[in-house]
Amino acid sequence: MASLEKGETTGRTPPSFFSDLDDKERIRLFNTGTIRTLAEKEPLFKKGSPDKTIYCVLSGALKVEYRDMDLLGFRFKAGDLISETGLSSSKSRISSVIAEEASTLFSLDPVAFGTLGVETRTAILKRLHDTLLSRVDVLGKQKESTQLREAALIRYLKKSRKPLGKFEQSEIIVNIVKNIPRLPLHITHMIELLAGQTASAKEVAALAKQDPSLVVDILKTINSSRYALQTEISDVSYAITYLGFNEVYQIAISRGLMKSMPDSDEFREVYRHSLFLSYIAAELCQSYDKNRAALLSTIGLLHDIGQTVILLLRKQNPKWSLFIEMLDPGKLGAMLLKQWNIPKQVCQTIEYQAYPAFCPPAEVPSDQKVNIALLYVGHAACDHLNNGPADALDHPYLDDYLRLLRFGSQGIDQILKNDILQGLSTKSHRLPDFVRKRLALGRLSGAN
């Protein structure tokens, strides 16, 4: 334990060591604690540590440690006190502190603090209060600076995204889009019904019967091993009633998409991803707004159709592949769907689907914020299911969109486990094999 004889106060300690106390109290305080030295980059304590020691910086400098060591943080200098939890009921440190340079600190554990007189303890608390006020001031300035940078980045990213009209003026893109087979008319009518959220099973069944090949697909589906019915079903009306409105609709949209898209490994992978997301997004709606389930299922199926346009452009113009990859698939998808006379709700959601990745809901230039949010959260759930917990940098505004959808304090892992996976498990026999496999792999990878 370090000692400090009377008369040596200014020689053995810096003037900042509780200069508001008289020499007798300073000597007693100094003899009650210990001295700790740290080399450059040596940690004082780690986040989560149960240590509740109070530290006073005598020389050198320390700072709050971030994952990115270049990130500007609060700098503790000589005279500052470091005691996030020293006098609180919290059980552990809420952050890590590291020496920015070789440093010397005076340390005082809680037991030693309790042996000090009222005047000394008050001086310590006042110094701690002053340090905390300095931290609050620095954090306030950092927050203001961060907000300005964030706003500048959002403006830049929004400005860099070309408006839909620019795509519609490109002769190459227009010609490619025109040559993509349209969805069958009765499927377009289905999407219009769903966009209005007033469709009935009877109306959907009537539209489905307009396509004989779709009727065949419906009968194949209900008589497949997925349903394992004891008797073969040949009555399409009964099949539609048994399968349910959403299932029949999904078969119809999927069939239409497969007719419109080329048959290759790349296109099939885009389609499988879209189908997977359509199930996730539709199930998400069961917890938010059941009336949107079929619409979000459609949006999920169509959301990557712009990516198929990019694949077509790249295939037909290989020399331009570098520039083609720079095109916005959301804008291309919206352009194609607009030509197919798909309703605004679907087109705009797909056009602005990328915005939640770099801006909060208020900055999304569309009145389809709820549908965009549902699609985005569905995507985040897919990422979590396929790749495990996502880094906060992957979805910096996810909490903002969860609040918009009134999910409260639930995180994406809780929503995935309690709402999406639980709901899909009750209808797993109706899911395509590859969807069931992906869900199973996601559970094994830690989504639960």
Element (H, E) at 373: helix 369-387
Cα distance from N-terminal residue to C-terminal residue, the chain: 51
Q: What is the pLDDT of residue 55?
A: 94
On whether the CB atoms of residues 218 and 430 are closer than 8 A, the answer is no
Q: Which domains does the chain have, with CATH numbers?
A: 9-141 (2.60.120.10), 164-447 (1.10.3210.10)
Give the HSE-up count for residue 132: Cα atoms under 13 Å, Cβ half-sphere: 11
Residues in CB range of 402: below 8 A, 6 or more apart: 377, 408, 410, 411, 412, 415
> Counting runs of H as helices and runs of E as strands, what totals does the chain give?
22, 8
Residue type for 325, please?
E
Which tokens hold the place of 11? Answer: 């020689």
Q: Reduce the DSSP state of residue 370 to 3 states and report it.
A: helix
Q: Residue 61: in which H helix or E strand, if any? A: none
**209's tokens:** 């019967």
Using left for φ > 0, alpha for ψ between -120 and 50, and beta otherwise, residue 310 falls in alpha
Contacts of 442 (CB under 8 A, 6+ apart): 384, 385, 386, 421
Q: Which of 382, 193, 373 is nearest to 273 (CA)?
A: 382
Phi, psi of 47, deg, nearest 5: -55, 135
How many Cα atoms are found within 13 Å in the side-chain-facing hemisphere of 77? 4
Helix boundaries (H) for 261-328: 265-288, 293-302, 305-316, 321-324
Q: What are the two backbone dihedrals, phi and then psi, of residue 75, each rounded to the nearest 5 degrees?
A: -110, 115
Alpha carbons 313 and 318: distance in angstroms, whole number: 8
Pairing of strands 81-82, 34-38: unpaired
The tokens describing 26, both together, are 């300073």
Cβ burial 251-286 (10 Å sphere, 16+ → b, else e): bbbbbbbeebbeeeeebeebbebbbbbbbbbbbbbe
Beta bridge partners of 37: 104
Residue 170 confidence (pLDDT): 80
**According to the model, what pLDDT value does residue 241 have?**
79
pLDDT at 263: 75
Angle formed at CA 298 by CA 428 and CA 240, multiple of 5 degrees = 60
Question: What pLDDT, on a 0 to 100 scale, did the predictor assign at position 359?
Answer: 92
Nearest to 67 by CA among 92, 95, 100, 38: 95
Residue 392, CA distances (Å) to 357, 369, 399 in order: 11, 21, 10
| Helix intervals (H) in 161-260 | 164-168, 171-178, 185-195, 201-208, 212-222, 236-243, 245-260
What distance in Å separates the CA atoms of residue 248 and residue 264, rounded to the nearest whole number? Answer: 25
> Per-block average pLDDT, block size 10, for the chain (448 residues)?
41 68 89 94 90 91 71 80 70 86 94 92 90 87 83 81 77 80 79 72 76 83 82 84 76 76 82 90 90 88 89 82 85 90 92 93 92 95 77 81 89 87 81 80 52
393/295 Cα distance (integer angstroms) = 29
For the record, the structure tokens of 39 come out as 């080399």
Name beta bridge partners: 104: 37, 59
Answer positive or negative: Cα dihedral of 267, 271, 272, 274: positive
Residue 79, helix vs strand vs coil: coil
Residue 308 contacts residue 261 (beta carbons within 8 Å): yes
Q: Which is nearest to 387 in space by CA: 414, 350, 413, 406?
A: 413
The span from the CA of 428 to the CA of 349, in Å, is 28
